[in-house]
């Protein structure tokens, strides 16, 4: 696979992140999970290394690398800690790329270099209490008053919300009392009228920052718009499609981290006079885990490669996200089983990987939604088969 998708530059990036994870992330991963502490010092160092801006064009201060590199980076981070990986993925895919892809040149020059360097973090507000999988059911409104908009409503489960300096979000645009479609805006998070809740208490991803947002008569200038009415929803659907690749990568890394620990433990644990991986019941589990990880990697890198080559990735991104997330859930479960009772205690990290895996089947489109997307795409091919 390395020779199929990777260049020497990709391999150098992976080695860089692996070394960083070994020295800076793994030593604190258990602590930040147990205390729910946001590791700002680690994120800052990742910014210094250029890891927060891998797919961002060089002209805006980014690393200018491809999506294969970006997916590989998220995988490597997730092997060490999923909370840090999702912080980077949400900042890059959701907090930065909407401006890169749809923002005005003025917005790009003003915001993207700061996002790329990590001077500020980005967040993305799409999900609402009544608009999760059905993102088109957005209730937040932005009513036009002259050259300004008055925003009311709220968002939920927003990653990086409490640590971000910049927020992109969607809203129903109201002009002259009429709803004219969903638009998108970008705003600084210290703006009047934006209320950020306390962090959510979560099952997993405990060191990532997840909060609810409330817009209370928030006044923003027309220059804050990054996607016009009717186009905002399309822009963010495109962003979500690409974001599914990073979630698939995060799932692969989570699965790999749990598998590596299970494999190591299986060589150390002796039962009935031999290593437990010599028993077929354990050995076959390990074989299945390794196979699922390789399959998930191929789906993920194939989707990233197609995106880099300007090809449609709606089906491929959904397949990668679906398969990798469900594989991660199965692999982390089996990793606990291989550890036996030790897998259930926090001194062994596999229970953390298990808790971190579940959200991968939910966030950025549930498994059920991914199957609907895939079905819609494959049914388009039916006529050519008849």
CATH at residue 128: 2.40.110.10
Residues 106 and 162 in one domain: no
Q: Are residues 118 and 47 in contact, defined by beta-carbon separation less than 8 angstroms?
A: yes
pLDDT at 9: 96
210 contacts 161 by C-beta, under 8 angstroms = yes
Same domain, 202 and 246: no
User: Are 227 and 238 members of one domain?
Assistant: no
Strands 178-188 and 148-159: unpaired
Least confidently predicted of 166-170, 354-358, 379-383: 379-383
pLDDT at position 135 is 74
For residue 331, tell me if it sits in a domain: yes
Residue 72 falls inside a structural domain: yes
pTM equals 0.96
Residue with tokens 């050519």: 384
Q: Domain check: are 260 and 363 in the same one?
A: yes
364 catalytic residue (yes or no): yes
Max Cα-Cα span within the chain: 80
Instruction: Identify whether 255 is part of a domain.
Output: yes
CA dist 204 and 240 (Å) reads 21
Q: Domain boundary at 61, 89, 121, which? A: 121
Same domain (yes/no): 185, 242: no
Dihedral of CA atoms 53, 55, 58, 60 in degrees, nearest 10, equals -60
Whether residues 309 and 206 share a domain: the answer is no
pLDDT of residue 235: 83
pLDDT tens readout for residues 101-155: 999 999 999 999 999 999 999 999 999 998 877 777 889 999 999 999 999 999 9
Structural tokens at position 53: 């801006």
Q: For 71-91, what is the mean pLDDT?
A: 99
Answer yes or no: is pLDDT of 1 > 70.
no
Domain end (from 121, 146, 179): 121
The number of distinct structural domains making up the chain is 3
List of residues 6+ apart from 193 with CB closer than 8 A: 151, 215, 216, 217, 218, 219
pLDDT digits (tens, 9 = 90+) for 265-315: 999 999 999 999 999 999 999 999 999 999 999 999 999 999 999 999 999
* Same domain, residue pair 153 and 253: no
One domain, residues 70 and 109:
yes
Return the CATH number at 290: 1.20.140.10
User: Where in the sequence is the domain holding 291, given as residue range(s)?
Assistant: 234-379
Sign of the Cα torsion 17, 252, 310, 232 reads negative
Query: Which tokens go with 132?
Result: 């999760």
Catalytic residue among 106, 351, 364, 383: 364
Number of helical H runs and strand E runs in the chain: 14, 10
Report if residue 16 sits inside a domain. yes
């Amino acid at each position: 696979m390395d020779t199929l998708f990777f260049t020497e530059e990709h391999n150098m990036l992976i080695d860089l992140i692996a070394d960083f994870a070994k020295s800076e992330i793994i030593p604190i991963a258990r602590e930040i999970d147990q205390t729910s502490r946001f590791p700002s010092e680690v994120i800052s160092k990742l910014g210094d290394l250029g890891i927060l801006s891998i797919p961002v064009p060089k002209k805006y201060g980014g690393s200018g690398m491809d999506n294969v590199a970006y997916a590989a980076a998220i995988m490597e981070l997730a092997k060490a800690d999923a909370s840090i990986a999702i912080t980077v993925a949400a900042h890059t895919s959701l907090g930065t790329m909407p401006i890169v892809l749809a923002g005005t040149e003025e917005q790009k020059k003003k915001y993207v270099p700061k996002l790329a360097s990590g001077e500020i973090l980005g967040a993305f507000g799409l999900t609402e209490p009544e608009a999760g999988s059905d993102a088109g059911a957005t209730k937040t409104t932005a009513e036009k008053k002259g050259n300004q908009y008055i925003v009311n409503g709220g968002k939920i489960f927003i990653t990086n919300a409490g640590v971000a300096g910049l927020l992109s979000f969607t809203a129903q645009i109201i002009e002259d009392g009429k709803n004219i479609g969903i638009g998108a805006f970008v705003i600084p998070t210290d703006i009047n009228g934006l209320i950020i809740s306390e962090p959510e208490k979560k099952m997993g991803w405990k060191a990532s920052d997840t909060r609810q947002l409330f817009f209370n008569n928030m006044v923003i200038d027309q220059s804050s718009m990054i996607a016009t009415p009717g186009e905002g929803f399309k822009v963010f659907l495109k962003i979500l499609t690409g974001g599914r690749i990073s979630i698939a990568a995060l799932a692969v890394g989570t699965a790999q981290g749990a598998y590596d620990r299970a494999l190591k433990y299986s060589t150390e644990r002796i039962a009935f006079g031999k290593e437990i991986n010599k028993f077929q019941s354990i050995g076959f589990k390990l074989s299945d885990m390794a196979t699922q990880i390789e399959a998930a990697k191929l789906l993920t890198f194939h989707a990233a490669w197609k995106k880099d080559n300007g090809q449609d990735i709606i089906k491929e991104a959904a397949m990668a996200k679906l398969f990798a997330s469900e594989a991660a859930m199965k692999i982390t479960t089996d990793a606990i089983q291989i550890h036996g009772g030790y897998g259930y205690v926090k001194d062994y990290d596999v229970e953390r990987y298990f808790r971190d895996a579940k959200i991968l089947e939910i966030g950025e489109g549930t498994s059920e939604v991914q199957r609907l997307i895939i079905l819609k795409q494959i049914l388009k091919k039916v006529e050519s088969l008849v």
